[in-house]
Structure 1
Amino acid sequence: MEAIDSLQKELTIFLIAHRLTTVRNCNKIIELQSGKIVRSGTYEELFILS
């Protein structure tokens, strides 16, 4: 994850994960369920909602 974090400053990165904690350093998280967006936001916003 450190390598991905260092690239974030220069690139747009799509990261797919099963655990919310895996994407906690991402600027924006989009949660999908059955191929549809069910919620989006920062880690802090989504953690409060879960």
Structure 2
Amino acid sequence: MDAVAGLSSDLTIILIAHRLSTVANCDRIYRLVDGRIADQGSYEQVVGPERWRGAD
């Protein structure tokens, strides 16, 4: 993640992660469920505890 953080802020980066902490500093997050977009927004919007109930 340090390598990504050192890149220019003018770039669009597509980052795929399994750990939520990896995407904490991302501007926009898309959460996929069964291959479809289930949520999108900031880390706080997408990862809030009420959003993850029953995600599995």
TM-score (norm 1): 0.81
> Which protein is richer in helix relative to its size?
1
TM-score (norm 2): 0.74
Task: Return 5+ residue gaps in structure 2 as ranges.
Answer: none
State the superposition RMSD in angstroms: 1.4
Runs of 4 or more, structure 1, over 3 Å off, are none
How high is the sequence identity, in percent, across the aligned residues?
Answer: 46
Q: Provide the rounded CA distance (Å) in 1 between the counterparts of 2:47 and 2:27.
A: 14
Greater RCO (CA < 8 Å, at least 6 residues apart): 1
Q: Provide the rounded CA distance (Å) in 2 between the counterparts of 1:8 and 1:39.
A: 26
Larger Rg: 2
